[in-house]
Chain A
Amino acid sequence: MKSVRLTIDGRAVEVPDGTTILDAAMANGIKIPTLCHLEGVKDYGGCRLCLVEIKGSPKVFPACTTPVGQGMEVTTNSDRLKEYRKMALQLLLSERAHICSVCVANGACELQSLASELGVDQLIFERDWPELSVDLTHAYLVIDRNRCILCTRCIRVCDEIEGVHTLDLMLRGKETQVVIDLNENWKNATSCTGCRKCAKVCPVGAIYVKGEALSSTKDKEVAKFITERRRSAFE
């Protein structure tokens, strides 16, 4: 396969053609913050945390969905990008009820750890926390929509890896919510296999397994692991 040379933060790297900037960076040990990206499923481009700059354009580009180009000069950590990442976190934290001290995911939450990593310790916007429904009807799965950041990792893993598409979005704008089947209670969701993949990939405390420590449930690698296993089985 053709390979592409580019620089990321001044470092020369070489990756196969078609690689995304994010994968190219990760493969070379350069970390770009992400929330909606999940290895093993299609990229969504929604959280806007992974934005990078490309020399020659005044715009910013999502690293997770932008393919590398020959001779590209990518910057992942300018002041503007840092500002933008903080802004995204500010917005997510003030959108729905993120009170870490009373959240099941406290200590095992990607939103929380990114906030502390990037230095977001005080909210600059009015909180806008609506009261959304919590579904506790399932024998062991819970969805608390008040914690959801709408990254759709759960939806994609359920659709693309488990192959059942139990989860999807309804409504739009700030009303957007993850629903189960056609807005059913989880216990009535006939399509759900109960596989827990959605809980494993949820970056926050929105979907979790009752009575299980979050640190043991969450497993961002699960989608990647399964895709790789499948691929090797067919080889």
Chain B
Amino acid sequence: MNSKKPMGQRVKEFVIDYKRQWEIQSMVIPGIIFMIIFCFIPIYGLTIAFKSYTVIDTLDSAPWVGLDNFRIILSDKYFWDAVVNTLGISFLKLAIGFVIPIILSVMIYELSGGRFKKIVQTISYLPHFLSWIVLGGMLIAWFSSSGMFNEILLNLGIISKPVNILLDANKYWWIATLSDIWKEAGWGTILYLAIMSKIDPTYYEAAKIDGASRMRQIWNITLPNMKPIISLNLILTVSGLLGSNLDQTLVLMNSQNRAKAEVINSYVYRMGMTQGDFSYATAVGLGVSIVSVILLISANKVSSKLNDNQSVL
């Protein structure tokens, strides 16, 4: 710690301290070993994005090819299709899926409490605990020609003949977005509700005396108090734009909707795991992570400008 002491003495002190602390150090060491093996070795493994790796190679014996893999990616039509789908679905999820939990949490917050509030909360959290495989299976059942959706639409007279919209590629983006919102919107309210419960109630009392309507109170008290947590959530959502849900795609994608369903992650999975093109798939993955980090940093910059130069991260 003390930088004025000579190097040798500092090392010596460190060793003595370390030996004295061996018992507590022995608790941390397994974690360090874990991180080195399972986190840092794969980060080193990213170098195969710059190599031509085949099954017979090891990580070190594969020849370097520089940026060749990236050059191929840029001229790959299927990659760009996946990019378009990822961005399309992510922006729909961002535009709708980001706002709904905020509205929902305000609505729940405005309930006067009691049984109904509890029931609404319990039910709205539940879908979060279903896996995408389970939900995918449910969606397939709901959309099937004898399933619930067709039944409702037939009864309402919207359609005259059952259709399976999961086979309609043009509707896939909406299916992906809306099913994601159905699953996660309620869960998204928890954090907002927790922050809202900390808003000083005297604000509302003062507003009431001034004759502010309920909508006005929400607009001028609740939402401004939520601004920091909303921006934090927005930053995290923006940085995850390119990594949209792999499980969801794998279970909902079929031969009919593939053109609109393939996202970058499922493309990486298909190129790497099914076709064995490890270098190519790693290069795609690396490119996505770099763009994600750039998005994270720029979103943080923008939001700190909007929040009076206070960085949220």
Q: Decide if A and B are genuine partners.
A: no
B residues at A contact (CB < 8 Å): none
A residues at B contact (CB < 8 Å): none
